[in-house]
Amino acid sequence: MRWSPGRGQTRLRFDDRMPDAHRSLSQLTRRGFVATLAAPVLYAGCRQGRPYDSRRFTVPSRSAVGLFPASSYAVDFADLISRGLRELGVHLAGRRVFLKPNMVEYERDTAINTHPSVVVGAAVACRRAGAAEVVVGEGPGHRRDIEYLLAATGLNDQLREERIRFVDLNHDDVRMTPLASSFTNQTALALPVELLKADFVISMPKLKTHHWAGLTCSMKNLFGTVPGAVYGWPKNVLHLYGIPNSIVDLTATVRPHLAIVDAVTAMEGDGPIMGRPRALGFVAMGTDPVAVDATCARVIGLNPDRIDYLHQAAEFLGVIDAGRIDQRGEPVSRYATRFEVIAELEYLRQQT
Amino acid sequence: MKTPDSGRIRSSLRDALLESRSHDGTWPYVSGKQGRLEPTCWALLALGRADGRGPDLEALKGWRRRDNWLIDVDGAPPNQAFNGFAGVTCLAQPHGRDLIAPLAARVIEAKGARFPSSDVIRLDASLQAWSWVDGTASWVEPTAWCLLFLKKYVKFAPAPVAAERISVGERLLLDRACVDGGWNYGNTKVFGKDLWPYVPTTALALMAMQDRRMEPVIQQSLAQLEKDVASERSMSALALTIICLRVFGIPQGQVQRDLYALVERNQTQWRDNLLGVAMALYALEPGQGADAFAL
């Protein structure tokens, strides 16, 4: 069967990607710029066959996603997340758990990073659930200086208080790892050994709009697993391979077992760094990261089918169809709102 | 404020580095892990400065290579930034010059990929300086390391083709400076918003531009560095600032005191941050002779 390119790829014609002499390069828009970065890979990617082995993936017939109320960061997140684990039927006894929060930058009074209270609450909940080991790790894509980020965000103090180990994924040992899908047209990527050693990976993003990808949630969060000391800051190879393609290949390869999304205070507008904080008041959880991200997209007024990487992932990784997502905790309607997005992303609101 | 016992702290940093050396003479980022190029270079420089003999380059002599690049991770593309830094490390020893002629040729030849200009990212996309890995765009840190390396290299091995690369590297750093001075990873304005600089990248870019100190951007960035270092604190940020101020001939007293206090407070975390330990030792060691980062 011929591979049908994802939504973003069908919108790209070769002429759009290669500006001609009559078109000023300075006129390239966001879409054009992203497309140009991805052009060589997308062109090569238009080949026979799916960019994944369908025998290795099973899309669940239904997926459960829980939205659990958290009005502020003062709530007991260990209790809240323990409840989520129970409602989702997650068993962690004896597991080696790796928590991957989202840390990018630090600026006071912003909502850039997963809140330390949510991260540490999740770690405590995993321990209570019988996890053999809980490790927290992140590899920020802009700032190399993890010591500064950990101190400035307050995560360092909270982790030390609970005696939880932190791993800097940018500087960990790495192993060349075969990619489980090839939307990027790549076969392998160096990934951190500490992540690969884990037998239960939890993606813990901050819910944000993202000016390139549309949405930062549990799948986009996996960019932080790619080691900067190998690929640099920013992780430009992922841009070159195509951001949606890279998100899908990373998700297919890392296969996070659970997503825990910090949507207590999210970010709207020009995310993932320069946007505005926006109180939402919940933590989202689910074992299907595609379904979790699709649900969070709906909450903030975006159509998941319009987000390239969700559209691609729905082919083989998870569920985006609302009719196949079982809601736990609170209904989407309780939190449904309309986030501001940059003008170039307004199309993400449109129904398909 | 209690005066730090500077000699004892430096001695402890030195001991920590020696204890964390791998059996093959290299250093990892985290104790007990695999030896890597960047922490090895920093450790060699720091221990060489502490011992007064300059870096012992044996570990770099035997480093695995491919097409004259020093390979940090088998199977991964060569890291151009750390190769530039390795060149700087080798040049800290007179006999190190013999080691790096092939590497210098590689660095001169390497060029960041060219991408079209964009109306959403403000930068001069025509400037192809140095990227982290081949085939990607030019960024601040690899450009700063390769630029510093070539500026030192041409002092004893004039290479006309290097002059052009140095010029492009300088133009890129000037182009990528943030609006109020300083540098981050390499973007200054995205979707109309000015991005802020970071202390470590600012210090590094300034070192690479130390011979252009009269440029307004350099003066502005020095001022920005001295302002930001008061709030953006880590062992690597403070250490790089000290080294930077030292090569510019600017007193570093307060930053040194801050770094002594920080390294003492962070002692339980040294094993997880050998890069910071090595940078701190290099920065705090009074040393003799020329600084490896000075032109």
Residue A13, pLDDT above cutoff 60: no
CB contact under 8 A, B193 and A33: no
For chain A, list residues whose CB is within 8 angstroms of any CB belonging to chain B. 19, 25-30, 32-33, 36-37, 107, 142-145, 147-148, 151-152, 166, 168, 171-174, 176, 188, 190, 211, 229-234, 236-237, 240, 270, 273-274, 342, 344
Nearest to A36 among B116, B119, B235 (CB): B116
- Give the pLDDT of residue B42: 98
Q: Does B273 touch chain A (CB under 8 A)?
A: yes
Q: Does B235 touch chain A (CB under 8 A)?
A: yes
CB contact under 8 A, A25 and B116: yes
- Residue B120's SS3 state is coil
* Tens digits of residue pLDDT in A43-62: 344 445 899 999 999 999 99
Q: pLDDT category, B159, cuts 50, 70, 90? A: confident
CB contact under 8 A, A236 and B72: no
- Give the pLDDT of residue B158: 86
Nearest to B38 among A168, A229, A236 (CB): A229
Within a domain: residue B165? yes
* Tens digits of residue pLDDT in A112-141: 999 999 999 999 999 999 999 999 999 999
The residues near A187 (Cβ < 8 Å, ≥ 6 apart) are A178, A179
Within a domain: residue B295? no
pTM for this entry: 0.92
Q: pLDDT category, A31, cuts 50, 70, 90? A: low
Q: Does B136 touch chain A (CB under 8 A)?
A: yes
Residues 65..94 of B with a Cβ closer than 8 Å to A: which? 72-77, 79, 81
Within a domain: residue B1? no
Residue A1, pLDDT above cutoff 70: no
* Tens digits of residue pLDDT in A140-179: 999 999 999 999 999 999 999 999 999 999 999 999 999 9
Find which of A34, A159, A173, A186 to mutate to test the B interface (most B CBs within 10 Å of its CB): A173
CB contact under 8 A, B119 and A173: no
CB contact under 8 A, B116 and A237: no
- Give the pLDDT of residue B118: 85
- Could you tell me if the ipTM is greater than 0.90? yes
**Domain ranges, residue B12:** 6-284
- List the structure tokens of B276: 């910071």
CB pairs under 8 A between A and B: 134
* Tens digits of residue pLDDT in A289-337: 999 999 999 999 999 999 999 999 999 999 999 999 999 999 999 999 9
Average pLDDT over residues A76-90: 98
Distance CA A73, CA A117 (A): 7
Average pLDDT over residues B10-37: 97
CB contact under 8 A, A28 and B116: yes
- The CA-atom distances, in angstroms, between A328 and each of A53, A310, B18 are 31, 21, 54
* Tens digits of residue pLDDT in B42-83: 999 999 999 999 999 999 999 999 999 999 999 999 999 999
CB contact under 8 A, A151 and B233: yes
Which residues partner with A209 through β-bridges? A215
Nearest to B141 among A188, A233, A274 (CB): A233
* Tens digits of residue pLDDT in B88-135: 999 999 999 888 999 999 999 999 999 888 888 889 999 999 999 999
How many domains does chain B fold into? 1
CB contact under 8 A, B237 and A148: yes
Within a domain: residue B83? yes
Distance CA A325, CA A65 (A): 7
Within a domain: residue B10? yes
* Tens digits of residue pLDDT in B130-158: 999 999 999 999 999 999 999 999 998 88
* Tens digits of residue pLDDT in B200-247: 999 999 999 999 999 999 999 999 999 999 999 999 999 999 999 999
Distance CA B101, CA A152 (A): 42
CB contact under 8 A, B76 and A19: no
Nearest to A240 among B136, B139, B266 (CB): B136
Which chain B residue lies closest to A239 (C-alpha atoms)? Answer: B136
Residue A241, pLDDT above cutoff 80: yes
Q: What are all long-range contacts of B47-50, with beta carbons under 8 Å and residues at least 24 apart?
A: B47/B14, B47/B17, B47/B18, B47/B281, B48/B92, B48/B93, B49/B281, B49/B282, B49/B285, B49/B287, B49/B292, B50/B10, B50/B14, B50/B281, B50/B285, B50/B287
Within a domain: residue B289? no
Distance CA B66, CA B64 (A): 7
Average pLDDT over residues A204-213: 97
**Chain A nearest CA to B33, separation (Å):** 7
DSSP 8-state symbol, B78: P
Query: Element (H or E) spanning B90, and its range?
Result: helix B80-90
Domain containing residue B156: CATH number: 1.50.10.20
Distance CA B150, CA B160 (A): 11
Q: At what angle do helices B235-247 and B253-265 cross, to 10 degrees?
A: 160
Residue A40, pLDDT above cutoff 60: no
- Give the pLDDT of residue B116: 85
Within a domain: residue B291? no
- Give the pLDDT of residue B295: 96
Within a domain: residue B293? no
Find which of B36, B73, B228, B269 to mutate to test the A interface (most A CBs within 10 Å of its CB): B73
